[in-house]
Structure 1
């Protein structure tokens, strides 16, 4: 087993270097031809070595969760940095290449998310103990990419800026506009649009826990007359709205449902309406979701390429009236989440257990690095039914964003 793993790692490491201590106590150093970062790992069991050899995409994370693989003289972030940089290079493990090809062939099924499956997938992550999210999110519980205008903002400031940035693209030019928030989370965006812009907002979610908290927040804020939250699949929305917003939900739609999603947006948008979609995406061609992420974090989830997103939009007759790429904003967001989680790790362990904490820190470190070294980004796409629904230039966005309190 060790000799095969030696061959795998020798082929895999082409950038930087990786030190390895095997379960039998022997060690090796694998150096790439290209200069890069160094990290090291230690196997504490032969089973962990086997996992990495047979299915690296899944086995690496599982071995870390179970304690069979540990960073050696470096942090988990350092170790994942070396592994993820090299995963982007040609060559590597032939078995993983075959596995990735098979996942791509099956991705329509893996991401097949009818209503019943969508509810189950959402519950897997978003119906966790709500105290967990208080450990690392901002005070408004924005569980999506923040917006760093200068890079020096606190997390709370950057999340408020994100909401203002999105609101500016919704062209909220008068009070009383009816807004649909698809995937409303804990209600922060909906409450902001109601409080600061006078909108009448309907938020829909599939998370029971998020729905409960969103309704409580609306009541506490005295906004129940303006904001309504429903446990409802977006496919069942029948009302037409002046504005539609969706933040961090499109990643859970599934590629087989993209066209249906955008057709529903068009159907629910009034003739002069404006929609804004905020989603994680990838800068390269269509791909697949890492099997560890799919199994443990976001089952049925996928970060789409722009090409497959635009292809689905084109088939629905919607206008793309604006598109913005946010490159490193999410990396900065997750870096703060990761630090906060590390500071509150013992509380997380009290809520769950050590294996859960290892899973969550592996998720946060890997997610941050996916934006740093693996081409992930966020995109915001503005959509309309009517070519004349928004002004000719983007000046109205800048004016709206700059005229708000705190600017």
Structure 2
């Protein structure tokens, strides 16, 4: 299997009995692994999409002469030209089981969110930016520091929301730790309602609003998006749509339409995939984001059209998340001892695999981010996109002068 798979790079395997094999042409990415026992070997062959991550977590497989990131770079670089039968089978199975795996009713959604977002709050402060933006940053130049790129992301989103007058009512679906909501209130004069299913995030967001003196302009609620029954001038959702699930796309966009005023504007920011419909990696689904799925645009646009919403703009963000994840991965590594004290070494290996696997999915595979601007009335925004760029430049210069 490895002889067929690894054509580029250099990949060393130390087998359970101690024998060594080398694969690839020696050009490009280089890595090696030591498979310590036959049980791990069987798991890697039968279900590599799940087995590789579990083997690293449980130390049945350890990198040699490098890190797990090096291993994943070799694997993903070669998978671009070769599809393992076991991976293809599991992808087909995942699509068939989508109605079950991505049902994501209100109670299941809350359980799924708690699995990842109700972890110790200090964990995220140890590898995210100061505002705890847990979504793709925006790199206009490509070499921005993480804080600068996350601030640019918020300006980019605000420009597309057309926050052209004070006191606009904004709904933030999946508000995280409140950073975007607080920014829209503080810098753009909006009145924001943020909703989340994470009790940890809710408590932190409310505390931040009070600390910033914005509790009169920003409120946060523990609420499923389907339960919202108010109308807003603007709606924003950043990094939450990946938890909705394809069976619920019609309900999600129906909520956007129901909650958007006739002249309102909404902005959806989500992970997507270039190569059409697929399935969530089984390791990610089990350990990181149960019920999660990053859709192809072809899976999103149909439900949008059926909802009656109008698409005003679509932008594809290529490689921006790869850069974001590289920052997170380096910060996680720098704070690894502190994170291990919160949890344990196995947890650290799990998160290392998650961050590296995600990064190479954006840099070497088919993952990307998209932003879709939505409205009920196609006259809700100016005829050309110039207003986006002008407002974004104004805010950037204002921020630099401060």
TM-score (norm 2): 0.97
Q: Distance in 2 between matches of 1:361 and 1:304?
A: 24
Task: Identify which of 11, 14, 20 aligns with 2:13.
Answer: 20
Where structure 2 has 5 or more consecutive residues not aligned to the other structure, the ranges are none
Give the corresponding residue for 2:258.
Answer: 267
Alignment-derived partner of residue 101 in structure 1: 92
| Residue 139 (str. 1) matches residue 130 (str. 2) | yes
User: Which among 76, 83, 89 is matched to residue 68 of structure 2?
Assistant: 76
* CA deviation after TM superposition for structure 1 residue 16, in Å: 2.8
SS in 1 for 2:266: strand
Choose the corresponding residue for 1:255, options 241, 246, 249.
246
SS of match in other structure, 1:315: helix
The residue aligned with 2:317 is: 326
Q: Distance in 2 between matches of 1:146 and 1:37?
A: 26
Q: CA deviation at 1:76?
A: 1.4
Rounded Cα–Cα distance in structure 2 between residues aligned with 1:349 and 1:47 = 27
TM-score for the superposition, normalised by structure 1: 0.96
1:45 to 26, 37, 40: 37
In the TM superposition, what is the alpha-carbon distance from 1:11 to its structure 2 partner?
2.4
Matches within 5 A, 1:174-185: 174-185=165-176
Distance change >3 Å, CA 116–CA 17, structure 1 → 2: same
Q: Identify the match of residue 397 of structure 1 among 388, 393, 396.
A: 388
* Aligned-partner SS, 2:219: strand
Tell me what 2:227 maps to.
236
Aligned equivalents of 2:86 and 2:127: distance in 1?
37
Question: What per-residue deviation string (whole Å, max 9, x for no partner) do you get for residues 44-83 of structure 1?
Answer: 2222111101111000000000011111112211110111
Residue of 42, 45, 61 corresponding to 2:53: 61
Q: How does 1:142-181 map to 2 (within 5 A)?
A: 142-181=133-172
Q: How does 1:293-312 map to 2 (within 5 A)?
A: 293-312=284-303
State the secondary structure of the residue aligned to 2:399: coil
The residue correspondences of 1:354-365 to structure 2 (distance < 5 A) are 354-365=345-356
Distance in 2 between residues matched to 1:91 and 1:119, nearest whole Å: 34
The equivalent residue for 1:217 is 208
| SS of structure 1 residue aligned to 2:333 | helix
Match of 1:88 in 2: 80
> Using the alignment, how far apart are the partners of 1:346 and 1:91 within structure 2?
37
The residue aligned with 2:101 is: 110
Aligned partner of 2:119 in structure 1 is 128
In structure 2, distance between residues paired with 1:355 and 1:98: 28
CA distance in 2: counterparts of 1:274 and 1:51, whole angstroms: 48
Contact 1:246 1:277 in 2 (8 A): yes
Rounded Cα–Cα distance in structure 2 between residues aligned with 1:40 and 1:169: 45
Q: Report the counterpart of residue 361 of structure 2 in structure 1.
A: 370
Could you tell me which residue of structure 2 aligns to residue 3 of structure 1? none
RMSD: 1.2
Shift of 1:317: 0.9
Unaligned runs of 5+ in 1: 1-7
Question: 1:96, CA displacement in angstroms?
Answer: 3.1
Deviations 1:296-315 (A, max 9, x none): 00001111101111111011
In the TM superposition, residue 40 of structure 1 has moved relative to its aligned partner by 1.3
Extract structure 1 runs of 4+ deviating beyond 3 A: none
CA distance in 1, matches of 2:83, 2:373: 39
SS state at 1:185 partner: coil
Aligned 8 A contact 1:11 1:91 in 2: no
The superposition leaves residues 107-143 of structure 1 with CA deviations (integer Å, 9 ceiling, x where unpaired) of 2321110001100000000000001001101110000
